[in-house]
A = this chain, B = another copy of it.
Amino acid sequence: MAARSTGPKRAIRARCGVYDCSACDLYRSGKCPGCGSGNLRLRRAGDELCPIYECVRLLGIASCHECAKTSCALGDRTKLKCQLRARFGGARPSPAFVRRLDRARGAASAAGRASGGFADRLRSYLRVVAEYERREVPVVSSHQLARSIGVRASLVRRDLAELGGLGTPGRGYEVGPVAAAIREALDLGRKRPAIWLGVKGAIDWPSVVDALRAVNCSIVGVFDDDARGKVMGTLTVQPLSRAAVEARRIGATVAVVASERAVRPELLEGLVDAGVQGVLNLTRLRLDLPSRVAVEQCDLGSQILRLVSRLGGS
C-alpha cells in the first residue's frame, strides 16, 4: 500500500488497504484518484495524509514491499483506514453541478430536445475520455478535450472543476476518475431494465443488446402481436397486451418503441403508469406522453431534419 512509480509515463498505481489496486473496487471503478494525486488533494484540502503514503515517501521507496524493516511501525496495514477510500468513495459533484445538470435535463426533456448544452457536453467529454481510457492514456488536459469536442478550454475546466477537483495543475485530468465521475453524474451505473416493443423485419439482435448493455440497460421483455412466440436471444416475444403488466412486474424504466404497430396511446399510457420513465422511439410517429417522461425521437426523418437544420448557409 504505497505509491509505485514505474516510469515517467505510467500513471501512479495506488495500493490501498486491499494491498492491490487491481482488487480494489474503488480504484477499478475509477473513483480512487490514486495515492499520488489523491494525497495531494487531501493535503490541499487540509486533511490528514495517508500515513502509508507519508511513510514510503519518507523512506524513498515505492511500496511497502520494498521496505526492509521486519516490523512495521504502522501496525497491520490492512487495518488502516484509507483516507482516499473514505474521502473519494462518496459522491463529489458540487451542488452547483447537480443544479446545472438538472436544469439541462429539464430543458432537454421539454421537447425531445437535447438542449441544456451542459448535459450534452458531459456526454462528449465522456466519449473522448472513454477513448483515452481504452488506450490507457492516464491523463488528459482541458486543451485536448476542448479541441476534441470543439469548445474553449476554459469551458472544459469550468465544467470539470465542478466534478470535484479531478485535475492536477501542470498535469491534467486523471482519465479514469473523470470518466467514472461523469458516469456517476449521469447515473449510468444504475441498472435499467428495458422492454422492447415491436419486432421489425431484420434486427441484428445481439448488437442491439450490446448497445443497451453499454448503458446498463438489459432487455427484459420483447413484445409484439405479429411475431408472437418468436425467440429473440434469450427472450420469447409476448403479446403487446402483456407489456404494461410485465413492465410493472419487472420494474422496467425504459421502453424502446421499434415498430409503428406498438404506437398505441393506451399501451404507452399503461407503460408510463407502470413506471417507464424514458422512451426511445425508433418510429416516425410522434409519441404524446406526459412531459415527465423523456422521449427520444430517432427515426431517420427527425435525424435528417436535425442535420439539415444545422447546415443553413452557403
A residues contacting B by CB (< 8 A) are 101-102, 105, 107-117, 119-124, 127, 131, 149-151, 186-188, 192, 201-202, 204, 207-208, 210-212, 214-217, 253-254, 256, 277-280, 284, 286, 291, 294, 296, 298-301, 303-314
Contacts and interface: CB of A to CB of B under 8 A. Distances in A.
B217 A109 contact: no
Contact of A121 (B101, B113, B187): B113
- What is the interface of chain A mostly: helix, strand, loop, or mixed? mixed
Contacts of A309: 105, 119, 122-123, 186-188
Contacts of A192: 308, 311
Contacts of A187: 308-309, 311-313
Given A311-B277, A312-B105, A312-B187, A306 B123 contact: yes
A304 B256 CA distance: 9
B298 A111 contact: no
26 contacts: A105-B309, A105-B310, A108-B310, A113-B117, A113-B121, A114-B120, A115-B115, A115-B116, A115-B117, A115-B121, A123-B309, A131-B286, A186-B312, A188-B309, A192-B308, A207-B284, A210-B301, A214-B304, A217-B308, A254-B307, A254-B308, A254-B311, A280-B303, A280-B307, A296-B304, A296-B307
A149 B291 CA distance: 9
Given A284-B211, A308-B215, A121 B111 contact: yes
Nearest to A217: B304
B294 A307 contact: yes
Nearest to A294: B310
Nearest to A253: B311
Q: Which of A192, A294, A308 has the most CB of B within 10 A?
A: A308
Contacts of A291: 150
B300 A211 contact: yes
A115 B120 contact: yes
Given A111-B120, A150-B291, A277-B311, 17 more contacts: A102-B313, A105-B312, A111-B151, A115-B115, A115-B121, A186-B309, A187-B313, A188-B309, A192-B308, A207-B284, A211-B284, A211-B304, A254-B311, A280-B303, A280-B307, A296-B303, A296-B307
Contacts of A212: 300, 304
Given A116-B117, A151-B111, A202-B201, A311 B294 contact: yes
In order of increasing CB-CB distance, the 3 nearest A-B pairs are: A110-B150, A115-B117, A111-B149
A33 to B, nearest CB: 24
B310 A278 contact: yes
A109 B306 CA distance: 11
Contacts of A119: 309-310
A211 B215 CA distance: 29
Contacts of A307: 254, 278-280, 294, 296
